[in-house]
Amino acid sequence: MKNFISRTLVPYLSMIVLLGLTTQCKEKSPQKTEPINETVIAIPEGFSIEVVAQDLGNLRHMTVSKNGDIYVNRSKLKDDKAIVLLKDNDQDGKIDEEQQFGNLAGTGILIKGGYLYTSSNSGIYRYKLNGQDEIIDIDNPENIVDGLADKGRDNAKSFVMDDNSNLYVTIGSWNDSCREEGTGNGIMPCAILDSAGGIWQFKADKLNQSLSNGKRYATGVKNAVATAWNFKTNTLFAAVHGRGAFHDFYPDYYTAKHSAELPAETLYELHDGDDAGWPYIYYDQFKKKKMLAPEYGGDGEKTAGENAIDPLLAFPAHLAPNDILFYTGNMFPEKYKNGAFIAFHGQSPELKKGYFVAFVPFKDGKPNGNWEIFADNFSGIDLANPSGPIQNRPCGLAQGPKGELYVSEDLKGTIYKISY
């Protein structure tokens, strides 16, 4: 029997959610719908959602200053600029002014320690800020680290920082499962792990670093676009994109259905020296086991990964987690405090669901209880019976100074604000 539950959200919108590893998806779901940009967004009762800005290009991650200004990074230049600044001059919650600057498009962006840090697809840069979190010299960012692997696929350099000036940078793998080109054989050992497929630690206050100046903090992490530093636990969390192509290369062991449903997208708490197991293993959310990858002798039944850490949570395949945010504000109800919001950028072929923001409740630094879909239907269409193109793909998350939640999406270049 398939391991999922379903129930109706509204007469024309259904929600089907796969059971998790340590928690299950809660049946409570978004109960209210609001038309946004010709798309009906479903959110829980008591919340409201509004468009802050639109037509901004291929938006990725965001950061919000203490005075409510929003900085957003782009994956591609628009008007020859990489970063968008949306200013709330009178701090009334409305955008009064838009500025664009920089020419190093990427994903990550963060205000920390008097600087605006931002990433390209090969490095991290920073701009000095004044006391109002405004950039002092907009034309001359400082180079923190450069020359990181960028082969065009899974090349987003998302990053986070702790309170000790340590910078944790994702370097995703461009090779889905470290396969030899043109074959289904895995490279043994996987040489890619020397420079990708993990998270590297650098110093945020040291200029002109390269890969050799950093430390491989965690390995076996295929592509963690969604990362966050949890200041309650003082640890790094990452939601990871899984591999694919089981049936393509190994039809004797895997069906097309297996390719659609496996492997899980996984949430990890990572510590120095941890190994999540990629490419040698993957996580099967149905068996609830770490499995030997077929490139390395697996057949869909052999377990492996005794030395690899276990995920905290398993989400359906191909949902593509692209950002994670631990909520620390006071605007939302108490159940959300210190829990994790996750923006999913893809869809599950099995569930016919995707393009939503999920919420994972936490207690004592660990997932606790059922995860749930918090904001749904950004796609704007019925994914079970699609009648047109996807309208919106959630990508970035940020918390505002009053505790509001911002969501960016990269198809129409829209930023949403969710308030309670």
Per-residue pLDDT tens digits for 265-322? 999 999 999 999 999 999 999 999 999 999 999 999 999 999 999 999 999 999 999 9
Q: Please report, for residues 67, 107, 203, 211, 227, the alpha-carbon distance to residue 206 in angstroms, rounded to integers and kept in the order given.
A: 27, 21, 6, 13, 22
- Residue 33 confidence class, pLDDT cut points 50, 70, 90: low
Any idea which fold 147-389 has?
Neuraminidase (2.120.10)
Residues 6+ apart with CB under 8 A from 219: 193, 197, 198, 274, 275, 276
18 has a pLDDT exceeding 80: no
- Give the model's pLDDT for residue 133: 86
% residues pLDDT > 90 (the chain)? 83
Confidence band of 36 (pLDDT split at 50, 70, 90): low
Tens of pLDDT, residue by residue over 67-118, are 999 999 999 999 999 999 999 888 777 888 999 999 999 999 999 999 999 9
Sheet (strand 313-315) strand order: 226-230, 235-240, 265-270, 313-315
48 closest CA partner among 33, 28, 64:
33
Q: How many residues would you count in the chain?
A: 420
How is residue 155 annotated by DSSP?
A: -
- The model's pTM is 0.91
| pLDDT at position 410 | 94
Q: Listing from the earlier edge strand, what are the strands of the sheet with 415-419?
A: 48-53, 415-419, 405-409, 394-399
Domain boundaries, the chain: 52-120, 147-389
What distance in Å separates the CA atoms of residue 309 and residue 281, rounded to the nearest whole number? 11
Check: CB of residue 211 under 8 Å from CB of residue 219.
no
Q: What is residue 59's predicted lDDT score, i.e. its pLDDT?
A: 98
User: Predicted confidence band at 20 (pLDDT cuts at 50, 70, 90)?
Assistant: very low
pLDDT band at 260 (very low <50, low <70, confident <90, very high): very high
